[in-house]
């Protein structure tokens, strides 16, 4: 005999809080400048999950005397898997048709998302959450992996603690709160302030995970351990504060107290979302560093603020919970928050290609309408039918027809299914056989074999290396370099073509502008400077006039120094850098400027989706323009 499912009254305030959380994340992912800390909406979801799931398990234990693990996991699967699998298949189909170069990279993401280890896969692969130059349409699934891992272990943990301390819920709440605080302390002490480089450049920014160096920043931001503090804090509140504590017919005076808590919590959460950041870009190096307050107690503050809001959201007599948070618009969005979260990021990314292309307001409005349509379709035709077992009943009618009409319906369904399965099958096969690493990454990687490492240690180290690489031997030892090109990842994409045309290319991904000074000084010191030097930097950081003047000291006797302007939309240093570069011929007679910015603005078809790096056509045009500029 089946035991009755655990029940709690519908809590519209929680759906309202979900709506706030998901919209904060959506706005943040559309354009970080609109809400710097919108990513904290994910932490709000964690606290809500910790509270609600613990509340459900406590209710079941109280009503049935035990927790039915199998029933719990089946319900979670029915709730989460259908929409997720739909998303994975949809993204796979889209990429198999329009982004085939991404399939090799996408394959690992799909598998990791399918088995809910996406966060650990990204940590292990060092595919940083903060990389703004990759398509990465499934990046947001890391948080679902954290929650699913929580769902797997939580009913077992709650059953164990209830068996041991079930009659002392206040003590259990205190223990869980203590664990949440301990996790916050662990994050603060494990976090390392400073700019993250490679494992060799900044070893303090990495930790060993089973002998493999992984970024501390990603480990703490994406990892289940570092992000479980909110889950434990929500669980602690469930032991202390339950809606059924306020079931009397008379309004309780507690509703005023929780409303005060909630207003303070909303104000605090709003302040944190407005001021906090996930990472800070460091223009001087082109690298990133974590936002220190976030990892030094920030997540704990978000948990406290969220718990304060939950007290009003679940209080049955709270005006703020029922009327404000529980208003029809918020509850509509809250009930569909899972779908909104699932679909928003892939839609944004497949439109703009990379996260660094921030959306404008009109773009956001149009794309959000698309996201709402996808979310509503998923909710009505996939999620709810499966959750309510309506789809199972329909399939049973097809499997066991009783009338001629049933047989005819089944035959039509089979025929349509066979036709409809062609694209999914093609997509899955394409995913299995795909070899691409992403268009931008593959382009840069292909160029690495063509570059010369004039300084030796400027070569980007092997991520898995345990020793610092020695100096690379070039093919021009002791000879003058007639045409030397110094650049970053933009030039690196065209390195093969430039090399074929007789140019010695020293280009490195994420290279800061000042490194041109080191290279120029070194090549000058060994007497190898030739007629032409080409410099294309400024993609990753600011440059000042003093640095440009210093670079020109070793280059004063070079016949022609060709400086190339940068095209890096949405980066604040683009215009001031280009202004300084364009003025260089006024001070130095041997300097000429190739205004790549103007060309890229006029011909976006030369660039990949990030509007920075060169596609195949752009690489050829770029090389042609350089050769023309130096008279070759």
Q: Would you say residue 397 lies in a domain?
A: no
Q: Which SS3 state, helix, strand or coil, does residue 488 take?
A: coil
| End-of-domain residue from the set 328, 350, 383 | 328
**Cα separation of 341 and 131, whole Å?**
20
The mean per-residue pLDDT over the stretch 124-145 comes to 91
Q: Does the residue 450 lie in any domain?
A: yes
pTM: 0.85
Q: Where residue 460 sits, what CATH number does that domain have?
A: 3.40.50.1110
**By residue range, what is the domain housing residue 465?**
439-629
Q: Which conformational region is residue 508 in: left (phi greater than 0), alpha (psi within -120 to 50 degrees), or beta?
A: beta
User: Higher-confidence residue: 287 or 604?
Assistant: 604
Residue 452 burial class via C-beta count within 10 angstroms: exposed 0-12, middle 13-18, buried 19 and up: buried
- 154 and 301 together in one domain: yes
Written as one string, the DSSP assignment of 268-329 is HHHHHHHH--SEEEETTTTEEEE-HHIIIIIHHHHHHHHHHHHHHHS-TT-HIIIIITTSHH
Say how far apart CA 348 and CA 365 lie, in whole Å: 11
**pLDDT in the model for residue 478:** 64
Q: Are 321 and 444 contained in the same domain?
A: no
Q: Domain check: are 53 and 174 in the same one? A: yes
pLDDT at 397: 61
Structure tokens at 451: 């570059």
The answer to whether residue 116 sits within a structural domain is yes
The residue among 310, 328, 346 that closes a domain is 328
Torsion-angle region of residue 136: left (phi > 0), alpha (psi -120 to 50) or beta? left
Judge whether 204 lies within some domain: yes
**Domain final residue pick, 312, 328, 344:** 328
Assess whether pLDDT exceeds 60 at residue 119: yes
- Is residue 430 domain-resident? no
**Averaged pLDDT for residues 504-531:** 92
Give the chain's mean pLDDT: 89
Beta-bridge partner residues of 532? 483, 560
Q: Is residue 145 part of a domain?
A: yes
546 inside domain: yes
Residue 476, in any domain of the structure: yes
pLDDT tier, 243 (very low <50, low <70, confident <90, very high otherwise): confident
Determine the pLDDT at residue 403.
67
Residue 534 pairs in a beta bridge with: 485, 562
Q: Do residues 64 and 203 both lie within one domain?
A: yes
> What's the average model confidence in pLDDT over 289-297?
96
Long-range contacts of 217-220 (CB under 8 A, 24+ apart): 217/128, 217/130, 217/191, 217/279, 217/288, 217/290, 218/122, 218/123, 218/126, 218/128, 218/129, 218/130, 219/123, 219/190, 220/187, 220/190, 220/191, 220/290, 220/295
pLDDT of residue 438: 76
pLDDT band at 334 (very low <50, low <70, confident <90, very high): very high
Q: Is the pLDDT reported for residue 393 higher than 70?
A: no
Residue-wise pLDDT for 178-204, tens only, equals 999 999 999 999 999 999 888 888 899
| Mean of pLDDT values over 602-631 | 93
**How many domains, the chain?**
2
**Whole-number Cα distances in Å, 262 to 310, 318, 456:** 7, 10, 58
Q: What is the CA radius of gyration of the chain?
A: 29
pLDDT of residue 473: 39
């Amino acid at each position: 005999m089946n035991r009755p499912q655990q029940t709690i009254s519908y809590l519209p305030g929680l759906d309202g809080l979900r709506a706030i959380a998901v919209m904060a994340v959506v706005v943040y992912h559309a354009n970080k400048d609109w809400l710097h800390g919108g990513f904290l909406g994910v932490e709000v979801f964690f606290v809500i999950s910790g509270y609600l799931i613990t509340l459900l398990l406590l209710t079941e234990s109280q009503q049935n005397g035990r927790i039915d693990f199998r029933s719990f996991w089946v319900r979670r699967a029915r709730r989460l898997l259908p929409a997720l699998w739909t998303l994975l298949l949809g993204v796979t189909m889209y990429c198999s048709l329009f982004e085939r170069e991404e399939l090799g990279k996408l394959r690992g993401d799909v598998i990791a998302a399918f088995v809910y280890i996406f966060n650990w896969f990204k940590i292990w692969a060092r595919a940083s959450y903060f990389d703004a130059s990759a398509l990465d349409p499934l990046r947001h699934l890391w948080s679902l992996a954290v929650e699913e891992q929580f769902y797997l272990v939580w009913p077992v943990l709650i059953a164990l603690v209830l068996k041991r301390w079930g009659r002392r819920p206040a003590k259990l709440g205190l223990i869980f709160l203590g664990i949440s605080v301990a996790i916050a302390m662990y994050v603060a002490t494990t976090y390392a302030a400073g700019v993250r480089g490679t494992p060799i450049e900044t070893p303090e920014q990495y930790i060993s995970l089973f002998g493999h160096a992984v970024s501390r920043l990603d480990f703490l931001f994406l990892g289940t351990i570092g992000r479980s503090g909110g889950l434990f804090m929500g669980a602690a509140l469930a032991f202390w504060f339950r809606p059924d504590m306020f079931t009397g017919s008379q309004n309780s005076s507690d509703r005023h107290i929780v409303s005060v808590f909630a207003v303070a919590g909303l104000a605090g959460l709003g302040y944190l979302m407005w001021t906090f950041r996930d990472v800070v870009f460091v223009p001087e190096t082109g690298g990133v560093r974590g936002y220190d307050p976030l990892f030094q107690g920030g997540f704990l503050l978000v948990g406290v603020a969220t718990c304060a809001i939950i007290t009003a959201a679940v209080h049955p007599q709270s005006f703020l919970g029922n009327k404000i948070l529980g208003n029809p618009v918020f509850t509509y969005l809250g009930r569909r928050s899972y779908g909104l979260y699932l679909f928003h990021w892939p839609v944004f990314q497949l439109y703009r290609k990379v996260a660094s292309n921030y959306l404008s307001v009109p773009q956001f409005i149009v794309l959000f309408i698309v996201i709402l349509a996808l979310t509503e379709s998923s909710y009505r035709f996939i999620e709810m039918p499966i959750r309510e077992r309506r789809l199972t009943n329909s399939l049973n009618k097809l499997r066991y027809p009783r009338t001629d009409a049933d047989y005819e319906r089944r035959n039509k369904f089979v025929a349509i299914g066979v036709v409809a399965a062609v694209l999914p099958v093609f997509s899955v096969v394409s995913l299995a056989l795909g070899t691409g690493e992403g268009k931008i990454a593959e382009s840069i990687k292909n160029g690495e074999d063509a570059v010369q490492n004039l300084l030796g240690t400027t070569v980007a180290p092997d991520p898995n290396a345990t020793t610092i690489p020695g100096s690379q031997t070039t093919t021009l030892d002791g000879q003058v370099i007639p045409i030397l090109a110094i650049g970053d990842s933009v030039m690196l994409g065209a390195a093969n073509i430039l090399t074929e045309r007789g140019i010695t290319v020293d280009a490195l991904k994420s290279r800061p502008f000042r490194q041109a000074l080191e290279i120029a000084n070194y090549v000058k010191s060994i007497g190898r400077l030739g007629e032409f030097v080409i410099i294309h930097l400024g993609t990753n950081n600011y440059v000042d006039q003093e640095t440009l003047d210093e670079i020109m000291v070793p280059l004063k006797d070079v016949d022609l120094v060709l400086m190339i302007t940068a095209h890096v939309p949405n980066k604040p240093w683009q215009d001031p850098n280009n202004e300084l570069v364009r003025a260089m011929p006024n001070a130095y007679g041997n300097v000429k400027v190739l205004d790549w910015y103007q060309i890229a603005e006029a011909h976006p078809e030369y660039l990949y989706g990030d509007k920075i790096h060169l596609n195949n056509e752009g690489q050829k045009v770029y090389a042609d323009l350089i050769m023309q500029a130096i008279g070759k």
